[in-house]
Amino acid sequence: MGVSYQAILWNKSKKRYDLWMSLFIILVLAVFVLAQMTLHPSITIETLIIRATAFTAITLLHIILIIGPLCRLDSRFLPLLYNRRHLGVTMFLFALVHGLFCIIQFHTLGDTNPIASVFLSNQNYQEISEFPFQILGFLALVILLLMAATSHDFWLKNLTPRIWKGLHMAVYIAYALVVGHVALGTLQYESKPLYWVMLLGGFVVIAGLQIFTGLREVKRLRSTSEKTKDKFVKVCNFDDIEDSRAKIVTIGSENIAVFRYDGQISAVSNLCRHQLGPLGEGKIVDGCITCPWHGYQYFPHNGQSPPPFNEKLKTYEVNIRGNDVWVDPKPKPPGTFIQPAKLEGSAS
Ligand code: HEM
Ligand code: FES
């Protein structure tokens, strides 16, 4: 959680993540190369490299885009999310090798600058079947480069989580460009329907999961917080919240995680200071709210990270009336102590 640049530390879980990722990539590459060599016995090594790196990159891109919604559907997918940035940088490296090989193979033989040649060698924008699809791939690669280059926590801190997140949402633009790149390129001369099925199938899965989980979120937002009394809003029943867990509520523009622990209630902002992860989907570990994404921790009563860290969350006043939990949706400045609300008769 430091502000200055610190080299990436490979802990045990990152090593395990990278090991599984490498094994998966080797499997994808092996299956793809075998299939290509069987279907096209005379394929050259250059074409094989171009296609195998492209296929691996687009496969990883699909996985990256479905991890988020999968984790919202089932927390057992969360381990995939912890080091999603490793997947992102690896995907970029495969796309880079693919792009470089294409430029070397198709754009270095003339007297035009190879990068300029990507943009100038074909300007037939009217014909779908002859569209200069390479330009779409090039633009996608530039976006992926920006994302890979700013993936370290150093940039997250210095750009602020909100700007960093906004920048990394450009992955959807990159994905749209890649879909266009393949649809207007390879798929214009590849006659096997399987390629279309894979590309459109991937799109349907990504869009379907995003829309489904998005609609669930909207429904959740609508169903919270109906009753208001003085400044407090009733959010749920005490028993609705599992011990050491939270209920996420949205009141106006405030996204709040209401935690229950040791017979008491505290409420903090639901947005983790690291990458805006959903704190309310995490749990209390060793007395601290622990973010489900990468494990940042905060005290529930004041929203502060335990020393030596200095992240702070907004906190909210809470109280319990009967068995009902009420929250004042007006946030207190980050790090403000709020007396936890205790259930009457609770020992703690
Ligand atoms: C400088 C950037 C890029 C250039 C010049 C480029 C160029 C090309 C070319 C010429 C092909 C046709 C190759 C063939 O059919 O043998 C191709 C196919 C492809 N490209 Fe790119 N590309 C670039 C970036 C990207 C990026 C960033 C991605 C995805 C992450 C990507 C994914 C693909 C895929 C999936 C195919 C189809 C592979 C196949 O034929 O099996 N490309 N690209
Ligand atoms: S978003 Fe990374 S720890 Fe919370």
pLDDT reading at 173 higher than 60: yes
Higher-scoring residue by pLDDT: 307, 222: 307
pLDDT above 90 covers what percent of the chain?
A: 58
CB atoms within 10 A of CB 122: 15
For residue range 240-279, list pLDDT tens digits in order. 999 999 998 888 778 899 999 999 999 999 999 888 888 9
Q: Provide the pLDDT for residue 2.
A: 38
Least confident of 13-17, 129-133, 328-332: 13-17
Residue nearest to atom 2 of ligand 2 (CA): 294
Residue nearest to atom 3 of ligand 2 (CA): 294
Asked if 117 contacts 133 with a C-beta cutoff of 8 angstroms, the reply is no
Q: Provide the pLDDT for residue 191.
A: 76
- Residue 165: pLDDT band with limits 50, 70, 90: confident
pLDDT reading at 137 higher than 70: yes
Q: Provide the pLDDT for residue 253.
A: 79
Q: State if residue 137 touches ligand 1 by the CB under 6 angstroms criterion.
A: yes
Q: Supply φ then ψ for residue 175, to 5 degrees.
A: -65, -45
Select from 189, 294, 303 the least CA-distant residue to 246: 303
- Residue 72: pLDDT band with limits 50, 70, 90: confident
Sequence letter at residue 50: I
Claim: this prediction has a pTM higher than 0.85: no
Q: State if residue 88 touches ligand 1 by the CB under 6 angstroms criterion.
A: no
Measure 236 CA to ligand 2 centroid, in angstroms: 26
Q: Provide the pLDDT for residue 322.
A: 87
Q: State if residue 58 touches ligand 1 by the CB under 6 angstroms criterion.
A: yes
pLDDT reading at 155 higher than 90: no
Q: Provide the pLDDT for residue 348.
A: 44
- Give dist(CA 297, CA 305) in Å, integer: 6
DSSP annotation string for 103-139: HHHHHSSSSS-HHHHHHHS----S-GGG--HHHHHHH
- Residue 153: pLDDT band with limits 50, 70, 90: confident
Q: State if residue 141 touches ligand 1 by the CB under 6 angstroms criterion.
A: yes
Q: Provide the pLDDT for residue 346.
A: 57
pLDDT reading at 25 higher than 60: yes
Q: Provide the pLDDT for residue 104.
A: 94
Q: Provide the pLDDT for residue 6.
A: 52
Ligand 2 atom nearest 291 alpha carbon: 4
- Residue 1: pLDDT band with limits 50, 70, 90: very low
**What radius of gyration do the chain's Cα atoms show?**
25
- Residue 299: pLDDT band with limits 50, 70, 90: very high
For residue range 74-98, list pLDDT tens digits in order. 878 877 887 788 899 999 999 999 9
pLDDT reading at 32 higher than 90: yes
Q: State if residue 182 touches ligand 1 by the CB under 6 angstroms criterion.
A: yes
What CATH class does 228-342 carry?
Answer: mainly beta
Asked if 270 contacts 278 with a C-beta cutoff of 8 angstroms, the reply is yes
pLDDT reading at 319 higher than 70: yes
Residue nearest to atom 20 of ligand 1 (CA): 54
Q: Provide the pLDDT for residue 3.
A: 41
| 183 Cβ neighbours under 8 A, 6+ residues apart | 199
Average pLDDT, the chain: 88
Q: Supply φ then ψ for residue 236, to 5 degrees.
A: -175, -175
- Give dist(CA 187, CA 283) in Å, integer: 47
Q: State mean pLDDT over 283-305.
A: 92
Measure 99 CA to ligand 1 centroid, in angstroms: 7
Least confident of 108-117, 163-172, 216-225, 299-308: 216-225
Domains of the chain, by residue range, sit at 12-220, 228-342
Q: Provide the pLDDT for residue 81.
A: 80
